Amino acid sequence: LRAALPDGLRPREGAGGGEARGHAWPSRRDPKLSRARQLRHYEAGLAHERDLRLMDAAREFERAAAGPDGAIAAPALARLSKQYCDLGWNAYAKRAELIWCPHIVPPPPDTEREGRALALRALELAREAGATYPHSSKCRLAVAAALGRLAMYSDNRTKVKMSNEVLEATEDIIATNPDDDYGWHSLGRWHHEMSRMNLAAKLVIKLYYQGSVFNASRDVSIRSYLKAIEIAPGRLVHKVELAKVYEAAGDLDKALGQLDAAMECDVEDYNAWTVRAAGREAR
């Protein structure tokens, strides 16, 4: 896996990791790191992420994950996974001629193998986060997000398996932390994507892959996104994704209303950048 990563995207030696097969994870703890410095690293990571300098962000989040305060280390480790997740998705989107961001540093790699390696690294880090901080909704959400992105590099059977795991993880996050807006967002996205499939595709998934696709509901998707917006009204991605569901339901007035509201929101990271670009294109 590490050999497949592009130059400059490989983790530092001794920085933790593993192959996510149930092994004990090496400790990231840095006994010399104070909580104040840990917080500074985390805030620096957020600033780099906003500026789309994802590997600079990853390095800061990795340092923050080694600090003494678990309340900082847990989201730092989740966000470390997210940087690789976003890099992997940007690589996939460019190759698939979808909306991708040309401003990200580093730029997307040239080969599918390298893009997939980034997505695998994201899942490896997310699994570490979930194992280290099992009660953190952010770490569990990192697993769901990494699975969703890695699915784009996977075969159909693996996609269905990952989809089922995403749904289970998302429902568990909401059950334990109902105020997690991204948990509701993830649930809304799952129901929207699955409900869009035609009956024949659903039957194949159910009969051959044991997927949960017949549980999907557009109404649940709408309610989930509305809940996410209620919790975090300033988050752009919730509004644009809800607009997509309204458009699919034929309610164009509500779709345009959500898009207009989204354009007033802050662009906080790569996901917000790409979703806003998609929203502008749809508008």
How would DSSP label each residue in 92-160?
A: HHHHTTS---TT-BSPPPSSHHHHHHHHHHHHHHHHHHHHH-TT-HHHHHHHHHHHHHHGGGS-HHHHH
Structural contact between residues 101 and 119, judged by C-beta atoms closer than 8 angstroms: no
**pLDDT tens figures, 216-232:** 789 999 999 999 999 99
Q: What is the DSSP string of 64-81?
A: HHTSS-HHHHHHHHHHHH
Structural contact between residues 1 and 124, judged by C-beta atoms closer than 8 angstroms: yes
pLDDT of 5 above 90:
no
Confidence of residue 205 (pLDDT cuts 50, 70, 90): low
Structural contact between residues 164 and 138, judged by C-beta atoms closer than 8 angstroms: no
Q: Among candidates 157, 152, 162, 144, which has minimal Cα distance to 118?
A: 152
**pLDDT tens figures, 155-183:** 877 887 888 889 889 999 999 999 999 99
249 found inside a domain: no
* Exposed e or buried b per residue across 163-182, where buried means at least 16 C-beta atoms within 10 angstroms of its C-beta: bbebbebbeebbeeeeebbb
123 found inside a domain: yes
* pLDDT of 216: 78
Which domain range does residue 85 map to?
1-152
pLDDT > 70 fraction of the chain, expressed in percent and rounded:
84
179 found inside a domain: no
Q: Number of folded domains in the chain?
A: 1
Phi, psi dihedral angles at 53 (to 5 degrees): -100, 80
* pLDDT of 200: 62
According to DSSP, the residues that pair with 266 across neighbouring strands are: 235
178 found inside a domain: no
74 found inside a domain: yes
* pLDDT of 195: 83
Confidence of residue 212 (pLDDT cuts 50, 70, 90): low
Confidence of residue 198 (pLDDT cuts 50, 70, 90): low
248 found inside a domain: no
- Is 198 exposed, middle or buried (CB count within 10 Å of its CB: 0-12, 13-18, 19+)? exposed
89 found inside a domain: yes
Residues 6+ apart with CB under 8 A from 49: 57, 79, 83, 268, 269, 270
Alpha-carbon distances of 254 from 48, 234, 249, 280, rounded to whole Å: 34, 17, 10, 16
* pLDDT of 157: 78
Instruction: Tell which phi-psi region holds residue 52, choosing left (phi > 0), alpha (psi between -120 and 50) or beta.
Output: left
pLDDT of 82 above 50:
yes
**pLDDT tens figures, 19-34:** 333 323 446 788 899 9
Q: How far apart are CA 48 and CA 29, in angstroms?
A: 23
Q: If you search the block for the tokens 């699919």, which residue do you land on?
A: 248
* pLDDT of 161: 81
SS (H, E, C) 112-123: HHHHHHHHHHHH
Please indicate whether residue 53 or residue 212 has the higher confidence score (pLDDT). 53
Over its C-alpha atoms, the chain yields an Rg (Å, rounded) of: 19
